[in-house]
Structure 1
Amino acid sequence: MVKYFLPLCVAAWPAFALAAAFNLPASEPAAPLTLQTALALAADANADLSAARHELSATDGAVQQAGLLPNPTLEVERVDRKRADDVRETTFLISQPLELGGKRSARVQAAERGRDSAAAALTARQAEIRANVIDAWFAVLAAQEQLRLAQESSELAQRAAQATGRRVVAGKVSPVEETRAKVAAASVTLELLRARSELAVARKKLSAMWGNPSPRFEKADGDIDQLPALPDQAMLHHRLAQAPAMALARSELASRQSLAQVELSRRVPDVTLNLGSKRSEELGRSQLIVGFSVPLPLFDRNQGNVLETARRVDKARDELSSTALRLDSDLAQAREDFDLAREQALALRTDIVPGAQSAYAAATTGFENGKFGFLDVLDAQRTLLDARSQYLNALAQAHRAHASITRILGAEQ
């Protein structure tokens, strides 16, 4: 039994090793993938989010360490002045540093502000990953629609080529028209190949958000035609003040201010209390030792570190202002991009695409009845394909702009 089981384990080991190396999520469905499922998968298995959570957990240790008291020091000294045992002196001394100037409380506060910064960084990372997943999911949805459009275009081109071939056989058009129809069908076939390649790339980018290099889901399940709505301008600016990047910048400023307070507290020298006993064998008795030591701040008063942390506070304050201006500009740009793409998509959906569809149908019917030439059909077909492609691109741009707004503002609570 063992001799059959061992080769089986050896053969199965590469599969287990590969799964462990890539941390494949077992919950990814081998079925249509909704946006909520994709967001849940990324929230559970994204490596960047896991790293940010570990960083936040690590700051708990920093807070614990900052609140600890300094350890005492035990010193033992034995002096032999002569060879005789009765002239030896043995000294036991315990030294305990006493922190003055609020050093311990300043350290704890700085560590807590560092933990707040790690929590804000985690929130910002979550908003970024969420926006990336939304962007990647809609990219898959758009690529699927682009592939469907390419397939329909290929069918249209094939039907046009077949109709031209029948008219050539009937002697109604020149064989040159048939050649043009075949060239047009071949061009559409190239577009079909490109659409398949773009869909494969988009699927891999989406599944990579939760650490899966080989996507297992069948397709992105959603309606790309449904455009999201945005709140009014006042609500957007209200949410901008609570944006993850703003919270991170404010926490960094608070952390820098706490570190500056730590360096200020270190200007006050600490006192070290000494307590011990000296045993003299010659005298036959022990002597109590009590004392203290304190450094004299004649040269080093920590002035360099105080100046450094003060300038870093100024830097953090300027970065907070810069972040506010940058986010306001990015939000305005994303809002304009969303509005423009939305208007373009609505115009293409209601007017341009239906008109191009009617023109192509009329040109095809007229060509089959001998009223139009093949160039008219080819132009109408090209116009229809361009209109459909522009519509999909407008939808993709609208969803991409909405994802950018989500990245800036974070998830709505």
Structure 2
Amino acid sequence: MSTIFFVLRGIFKPGFLFCLCILIASLDLAHAASGKYTIEAIQRIGLQANGLMQAARAQVDIAEADVVSAAALPNPEVTVMAGPDSPRLPEIDTGPASMQRQVTVSQPLENPFVRSARIGSAQAGVEASRANLEQVRADLAAQLRVRTYEFLLRRGLAEMESDIFNLMQEIQRRIKLSVDVGEVARFELIRADTEVMTAASRKEAAMLDTERARIALLQLTAGALEQGFDIEASLTDPVELPSLDALRADLPGSNPEILRLEAERDRASLRIEQERAAVLPSVDILYSNYQDKQFTSNTVGLSLRIPLFYRRSGEINAAISDAARVRETLDYRRFEVVRLLESAWQTMEIARRRVEMFEGGIVREAESALRVAETAFRLGERGFIEVLDTQRVLRNARSELLQARFELQAAAAEIDRLRAHYPKD
């Protein structure tokens, strides 16, 4: 599907943009209704339907709920006590019996340093969950893209094996006619029958591989695609990427795993601050009201908890070690992700050279050689063996070309995965 945007001065207003989005969505739906999907449409469908995406979104919701919990103020405690007085001496000495009641309210005063560190840690957890969601999206989008091109590869190999099978059938028919008129020995027909059965077996295996690739796509999209879907793409689709230097410079700010580890580093640092601040004494405000038959008493006080014997050294050391672990992991992953980018780039360049090599002459020369061998076979100048040899050379060349095209697209998908480049909502 190709969408043409007409950019005119002054027309990009909110209403126009909304209508434009509706138009693009309707075009995608029209292609889906016809059973043909672009790679971008398959990625969008998979990102909406896959269960792992739903689970990652739920993790973001959980992290946002944790922020609400971290920002909540502590609740007061109310204690009510009541009961009768039972005199132990004669009533003439103590007076008549009475009821007494006592109400005590306790309100914790939260340490502001602990509170701010706890809220910041929860907010960093939200950023880590969002980065994790972005990573799941990028991984799934890349996997969908690779599986789509694998389906195109398997279908191309199946078409190639079908052409070879048709060629073997045609040669078998010609040899059978020659055997019937006594021009060649029956041994040639037996050899041709064997080659036809071999070609039929390879054709059937290639078709089964195509269906297996189709099932893998259905699995990744949770069955949202039609059973007999078709792909509106090709292994010859152009691969357009920024330069390696530009990708290397932008990678630290776009790679989801690096962003997630940075958020976890911030959360670990705030946890250290939270544990250190927890060493400070905590205070509760107390208010008590006491009533009996003769007196009413109102008292106000403070309850102070002092960490005198244990000053949370274990929790602080654990937080420091966890922060060091996250920091070391972040430094290593920054280095490793850049190396993965460079490796994927080199793989892409190697695949591009292989494609150019096979397209530049090997496949054409093998096709010309097969045509010459077929013509010579029909004229009786060459035997069946020469046709088989040239056909095998062409088959290997076409297989290598299809594989090289697939590896080129897979390497480009890996680069897009590392930089989280996929169709956004």
- Tell whether 2:364 aligns with 1:360: no
Structure 1 residue identity aligned to 2:149? F
| 1:288 paired residue number | 298
- Aligned with 1:102: secondary structure? helix
Structure 1 residue identity aligned to 2:275? E
- Aligned with 1:294: secondary structure? strand
Q: 1:159 aligns with which of 164, 167, 170?
A: 170
Per-residue deviation at 1:167?
2.5
**Does the 8 Å CA contact 2:345/2:415 hold for their aligned counterparts?**
yes
> CA separation in 2, counterparts of 1:94 and 1:87?
24
Normalising to structure 1: TM-score of the pair?
0.89
**Does the 8 Å CA contact 2:84/2:97 hold for their aligned counterparts?**
no
> CA separation in 2, counterparts of 1:328 and 1:94?
59
| 1:205 paired residue number | 216
Task: Provide, for residues 277-315 of structure 1, a one-character-per-residue CA deviation record: whole Å limited to 9, x for no partner.
Answer: 11132xx12011111111121222122111111110000
| 2:242 paired residue number | 231
> CA separation in 2, counterparts of 1:215 and 1:198?
18
> CA separation in 2, counterparts of 1:363 and 1:172?
19
Residue 208 and residue 26 in structure 1: after superposition, are their counterparts in 2 closer, same or farther (change >3 A)? farther
- Tell whether 2:326 aligns with 1:322: no
- Aligned with 1:277: secondary structure? strand
**Does the 8 Å CA contact 1:33/1:217 hold for their aligned counterparts?**
no
Task: Provide, for residues 203-248 of structure 1, a one-character-per-residue CA deviation record: whole Å limited to 9, x for no partner.
Answer: 1111222211884243212121224133212111012212111111
- Aligned with 2:105: secondary structure? strand
Normalising to structure 2: TM-score of the pair?
0.86
Residue 209 and residue 30 in structure 1: after superposition, are their counterparts in 2 closer, same or farther (change >3 A)? farther
| 2:313 paired residue number | 303
What are the residue-to-residue correspondences of 1:163-242 with 2, within 5 Å? 163-212=174-223, 215-242=226-253
**Does the 8 Å CA contact 1:56/1:115 hold for their aligned counterparts?**
yes
Task: Provide, for residues 98-128 of structure 1, a one-character-per-residue CA deviation record: whole Å limited to 9, x for no partner.
Answer: 0125222121111111111111111111111
| 1:257 paired residue number | 269
- Aligned with 2:402: secondary structure? helix
Per-residue deviation at 1:404?
1.3
Structure 1 residue identity aligned to 2:257? A
Q: 1:58 aligns with which of 58, 62, 69?
A: 62
What are the residue-to-residue correspondences of 1:123-162 with 2, within 5 Å? 123-162=134-173
Task: Provide, for residues 113-146 of structure 1, a one-character-per-residue CA deviation record: whole Å limited to 9, x for no partner.
Answer: 1111111111111111110111111111111211
Structure 2 residue identity aligned to 1:48? L
Residue 145 and residue 280 in structure 1: after superposition, are their counterparts in 2 closer, same or farther (change >3 A)? same
- Tell whether 2:50 aligns with 1:46: yes
Structure 1 residue identity aligned to 2:302? F
Per-residue deviation at 1:363?
0.8
| 1:19 paired residue number | none
Q: 2:129 aligns with which of 80, 103, 118?
A: 118
Percent identical among aligned pairs is: 24
> CA separation in 1, counterparts of 2:289 and 2:229?
80
Task: Provide, for residues 307-349 of structure 1, a one-character-per-residue CA deviation record: whole Å limited to 9, x for no partner.
Answer: 1111100000001011112212211221111111111112111
Task: Provide, for residues 354-400 of structure 1, a one-character-per-residue CA deviation record: whole Å limited to 9, x for no partner.
Answer: 11111111111111212112111110111111111111111111111
Unaligned runs of 5+ in 2: 1-28, 88-94
Structure 1 residue identity aligned to 2:316? V
> CA separation in 1, counterparts of 2:352 and 2:391?
25
> CA separation in 1, counterparts of 2:183 and 2:375?
15
Per-residue deviation at 1:26?
13
> CA separation in 2, counterparts of 1:30 and 1:146?
25
| 1:389 paired residue number | 399
- Tell whether 2:95 aligns with 1:91: no
Calculate the aligned-residue CA RMSD, in Å.
2.1
> CA separation in 2, counterparts of 1:127 and 1:154?
40
Give the paired residue count: 387
- Tell whether 2:344 aligns with 1:344: no
| 1:11 paired residue number | none
- Aligned with 2:308: secondary structure? coil
Structure 1 residue identity aligned to 2:318? E
- Aligned with 1:96: secondary structure? strand
> CA separation in 2, counterparts of 1:118 and 1:293?
39
**Does the 8 Å CA contact 1:90/1:279 hold for their aligned counterparts?**
yes
Of 51-60 and 374-383, the range deviating more from structure 2: 51-60
> CA separation in 1, counterparts of 2:182 and 2:358?
39
Unaligned runs of 5+ in 1: 1-24
